[in-house]
Amino acid sequence: MATCGLRERKKRRTEASIVEAAFTLFNERGFNSSTMEEVAERAEAAVGTIYNYFDSKSHIVVAVLHNETEKYAQRAVVKAENSSKITLKRLHAYSDAYLGDFVSYDKSLWCEMFSGLFKDSVRAAKLFGENSSVLGHISRLMTHNKSKERQQPLINNDTAFVLHSSIITTVLSYITDPDMGIEKAQKAAREMSSCIIKKECG
């Protein structure tokens, strides 16, 4: 049993090191210009080892985007929970913080990686679909201290998914529009979330 646990931890560490090395490489050379062989070299692993974990660059970029977006969501939800007790204000704070983290890297890198992701529609759906782990963060904002906020609406999972989708739509608009600044993107996300909440609350 202990040996099995040790083996699993080693696999997770290897996978994590591959993803980290790949993201560093993509940031330096671009996703499209990077090869699996270069990922292996950067990760100090055999090419065969890379393929044991990931069958393509598109598969790797799913893991990269999962790690980054999950990290952004975790940071955003903490900021949002500390910002207000009002549901809509928490949502606005969440989307502002989540979108704000995307300025950490060039738009061109995000464009290449998202394009690579959407070549694999099945994995893309898992990352941003109805089972996305990010939905849990949004639902958490909706229900936090709900016993003290009886006038606040209880938002169901379907609404959380719609809110999440609206934020991702804004992310895609931001990274694909060279003239859109982050402030404009954040404003657009706030307006969409306000409309969604207003519709749900009647």
Check: CB of residue 85 under 8 Å from CB of residue 91: no
CA-CA distance, 170 to 154, in Å (whole number)? 24
CA-CA distance, 202 to 200, in Å (whole number)? 6
Does 41 share its domain with 70? no
In the chain, % of residues over pLDDT 70: 87
In the chain, % of residues over pLDDT 90: 54
Does 48 share its domain with 114? no
Average pLDDT over every residue of 129-140: 72
Average pLDDT over every residue of 66-91: 88
Q: Is the pLDDT of residue 85 over 70?
A: yes
Q: What is the mean pLDDT of the chain?
A: 85
Does 21 share its domain with 118? no
Does 182 share its domain with 92? yes
CATH number, domain with residue 36: 1.10.10.60
Does 101 share its domain with 36? no
**Cβ–Cβ contacts within 10 Å for residue 91, how many?**
25
Q: Is the pLDDT of residue 149 over 50?
A: no
Which domain range does residue 42 map to? Answer: 1-55
Q: What is the pLDDT of residue 146?
A: 46
Check: CB of residue 84 under 8 Å from CB of residue 93: yes
Average pLDDT over every residue of 16-32: 95
Q: What is the pLDDT of residue 201?
A: 59
Average pLDDT over every residue of 110-138: 79
Q: What is the 3-state secondary structure (H, E, C) of the chain?
A: CHHHHHHHHHHHHHHHHHHHHHHHHHHHHCCCCCCHHHHHHHHCCCHHHHHHHCCCHHHHHHHHHHHHHHHHHHHHHHHHHCCCCCHHHHHHHHHHHHHHHHHHCCHHHHHHHHHHHCCCHHHHHHHHCCCCCHHHHHHHHHHCCHHHCCCCCCCCHHHHHHHHHHHHHHHHHHHHCCCCCHHHHHHHHHHHHHHHHHHHHC
Q: What is the pLDDT of residue 17?
A: 95
